[in-house]
A and B are shown apart, each in its own frame.
Chain A
């Protein structure tokens, strides 16, 4: 959409973007200033049911929901996100564990092209009981915009179940290359 006015006045090429906007001139004509949305592309994928084997780093099967995959880059067959825009992305994982035992631990891994780029370990602390635990953490990850991909792996100390739909992998572009 071409933007020609801002705050009821014409836009000139010398105008600069405000804090939350980006303006791009596509030609020397003032009316060709384009409003570009920030943080595109983005995605969010959620887990289905899964009970990973104890002490085993297991790839989480994920599916996008509610159309939260702005450039259709999430591959549900291989459970991986391969963004087609190069740049730095904020990638976040949310891990939900069902009936985690007191003192037990869980680990979440972000794997880029099969190698771990971030991992987070958390434990359950509730004496003499089990409880549902969850944790989230994020990392800035750089993608080449063609072949680089990210996957979510989890490791639970025992064979506890993943909390369906409360285990997620999500992210968005924060800076194009």
Chain B
């Protein structure tokens, strides 16, 4: 089951809206009734028509793929060498840079894109 926010982003993009502020444009809520997640659209302030549940359901597969990719990218970010290491490697060059590139490639191989 994908996240409602992901499906709404895809629906909006398909209708010409490339950026959504989820604190203003669209507000989603989950009241966790009996401890069970039940997301819904609390407020819809975009100019495009608010989607129906059926319309959002058509984005399920695409949303799954996007969330899987986001997980890969997030995992990579958390294990890549940090900015300081990158700056040092770029300035030092030579083996330092080669080693850093090897570390980055190692992380990419650990979390391959589909």
Instruction: Point out residues on A near B: beta carbons under 8 Å.
Output: 52-61, 79, 99, 101, 107, 121, 127-130, 153, 155, 157-159
User: 10 additional contacts, CB 8 Å, given A57-B28, A58-B37?
Assistant: A54-B3, A56-B3, A57-B30, A57-B42, A99-B78, A101-B74, A127-B82, A128-B86, A153-B29, A159-B3
- How many residue pairs between the two chains, A and B, have CB atoms under 8 Å in the bound complex? 61
A residues less than 8 Å from B27 (CB atoms): 57
* Cross-chain contact A56 with B39 (CB below 8 angstroms): yes
Contact B30 A52 (CB under 8 A): yes
Minimum CB–CB distance from B52 to chain A (whole Å) comes to 19
The list of the 6 closest CB pairs from A to B, nearest first, reads A55-B22, A56-B28, A55-B5, A58-B30, A128-B82, A128-B83
Q: Nearest A residue to B8 by beta-carbon distance?
A: A55
What size tier do the contact residues of chain B reach?
A: 20 to 34
Asked if residues B4 and A56 are in contact (CB atoms below 8 Å), the reply is yes
Are A56 and B74 within 8 A (Cβ)?
A: no
- Could you tell me if B30 and A59 are in contact, using CB atoms closer than 8 angstroms? yes
Interface residues of B (CB under 8 A from A): 3-6, 22-23, 27-32, 35, 37, 39, 42, 74, 77-78, 80, 82-83, 86
Per a CB cutoff under 8 Å, which of A56, A57, A61, A130 touches B35? A61
Q: Are B5's CB and A54's CB within 8 A?
A: yes
Residues of B within 8 A of A155 (CB): 22-23
Q: Which residues of A contact B86 (CB under 8 A)?
A: 128
Q: Which residue of B lies closest to A153 (CB)?
A: B29
Residues of B within 8 A of A79 (CB): 32
B34 CB → nearest A CB, Å: 8
Q: Which of B4, B23, B82 has the most CB of A within 10 A?
A: B23
A30 to B29 alpha-carbon distance, docked (Å): 56
Q: What are 24 sample pairs from A and B whose C-beta atoms fall under 8 A apart?
A: A53-B28, A53-B30, A54-B6, A55-B3, A55-B5, A55-B22, A55-B28, A56-B3, A56-B4, A56-B5, A56-B29, A56-B30, A58-B29, A58-B37, A79-B32, A101-B74, A101-B77, A121-B23, A128-B80, A128-B82, A128-B83, A128-B86, A130-B78, A155-B22
Q: Which residue of A59, A99, A128, A129 is within 8 Å of B32 (Cβ)?
A: A59
Given contacts A53-B5, A56-B39, contact A129 B29 (CB under 8 A): no
Which chain A positions have C-beta within 8 A of B3?
A: 53-56, 159
